Amino acid sequence: MHAVANPAVFEQFVLVERTLSGRVTVTDPDVASDPFDPIRSGGGVPVTGARVEVTDATGATAVAVESQTGTPLRGTGVYRFGNVAAGPNFPGGRAGVRVAPGARLTLRVVTQEGTVVQGATTVPGGAGTPFAPPARTRNFLRDRDTLRLQWDPVPGARSYLVRVESPYGAFFLFTDSASATLTGELRNVFADRLPRVFQAGFTQWVNVAAVDTNFFDYYRSTNSPFTGSGLINRLDGGIGVFGAYVPVQSIALSVRATDRDPFDGRYVSAGPQGPEALRLWVDARANGLAEVTGAYRLPTAEQYGVLGTLEGTRLRLRAVDAGDSRVADRVMEGEVRGDTILVQLRGALLAGDDGRRRFVRDTTPIPGEQPPR
């Protein structure tokens, strides 16, 4: 069971699933997960039809609703309840509970087979504790800048979680101080091949939150085949976490890099709906293959981060989700000819768009683009 109480949001979630035993065939973990069906798309076995109750310190109890929609059903095993401290009662006439700093919450899950799982958490903070501050934005030149974070201590916090969203998976760390320093050259130890945490061309969210003991112990522990130590589990009758998370800081970083490779630069194409732009950098070169990162900007000012490779003159790029490189919105394949890139674009194209693009290097500023420093 996985549930994290967050006072900054109205809708709260409880995920109920079975531990994997080999008795059930699960999906390929390399396939991108579906946020509307996180358990099954993440290779899990959801538990449906359970009764999930959340009770606050006043004695109010909310019965969570299972999020099943569509055909086939999506959201099986995902149960929702409302936070009355952040909005009105939950739709459908079911009352929510108060999820606020300092609140004590208990959770009780009863499956159709009669299995009972229980847990409790206290949300860090107290009356008057600020949370969910407005997001800030800033430019970040990764080979020069260092991100220095500071925040006010939160009463009752066991630790603070610093999390950076990355296309190769989130990078996170815990700290017991009210500050953290991240260099632009930081590597992601949670991803294969240790890619950079900060990817040039992407807008990456950096979030800081105060967490309770349950959250801290569960996510800092692991099942180790060498030491035999396991997850620190504070649930009664099951395995997982019922914890609390209080947002204290949020920053959107527009990540860029210094031009060092002859290929680095800005390329512009006269697309059918208006000018499109590619801002590209070579991230690394080895054995004739270059790893490329960057940004792809549409005429509507919508922008995607791109990842790809350059092998000789052959260029392959994928416009990917900022938090999951497995989710590609568009794919480009083509050839580099000096200062010109000829590509075939595939993906979400408008009617009549054949996807052919001719990008030409351009050193003049593009209206609306945030230029690299």
User: What CATH number corresponds to the domain at position 336?
Assistant: 2.40.128.120
Q: Is residue 368 situated within a structural domain?
A: no
Is there a single domain that holds both residue 8 and residue 98? yes
Assign 150 to helix, strand or coil.
strand
Is there a single domain that holds both residue 251 and residue 271? no
Q: Is residue 372 situated within a structural domain?
A: no
Contact predicate 245/218, CB 8 Å = no
Q: Is residue 367 situated within a structural domain?
A: no
Backbone dihedral angles phi then psi of residue 299, each to the nearest 5 degrees: -60, -25
Is there a single domain that holds both residue 279 and residue 329? yes
Assign 41 to helix, strand or coil.
helix
Is there a single domain that holds both residue 243 and residue 287? no
Asked which of 93, 123, 153 is the last residue of a domain, the reply is 123
Is there a single domain that holds both residue 228 and residue 142? yes
Q: Is residue 217 situated within a structural domain?
A: yes
Run of H or E including 326: strand 324-337
Is there a single domain that holds both residue 308 and residue 245? no
pTM of structure:
0.89
Ranges of residues in the chain whose predicted pLDDT is under 70: 21-33, 70-72, 88-95, 225, 227-228, 323, 365-373
Assign 311 to helix, strand or coil.
strand
Nearest to 164 by CA among 177, 151, 181: 181
Is there a single domain that holds both residue 162 and residue 185? yes
Q: Is residue 369 situated within a structural domain?
A: no
Is there a single domain that holds both residue 71 and residue 141? no
Is there a single domain that holds both residue 172 and residue 108? no
Q: Is residue 313 situated within a structural domain?
A: yes
Asked which of 227, 257, 287 is the last residue of a domain, the reply is 257
Q: What's the CA gap between 86 and 207, in Å, rounded? A: 20
Run of H or E including 40: helix 38-41
Q: Is residue 371 situated within a structural domain?
A: no
List residues bridging with 46 in a β-sheet.
Answer: 17
Structure tokens at 66: 């299972």
Q: Is residue 331 situated within a structural domain?
A: yes
Run of H or E including 215: helix 213-220
Domain count, the chain: 3
pLDDT at 47: 95
Nearest-5° angle of CA 280, CA 284, CA 288?
Answer: 105
Is there a single domain that holds both residue 176 and residue 210? yes
Q: What's the CA gap between 242 and 233, in Å, rounded? A: 9
Asked which of 205, 229, 257 is the last residue of a domain, the reply is 257
Is there a single domain that holds both residue 253 and residue 271? no
Residue-number span of the structural domain to which 281 is assigned: 259-361
Is there a single domain that holds both residue 132 and residue 245? yes
pLDDT at 349: 77
What single-letter DSSP state applies at residue 187? B
Assign 39 to helix, strand or coil.
helix
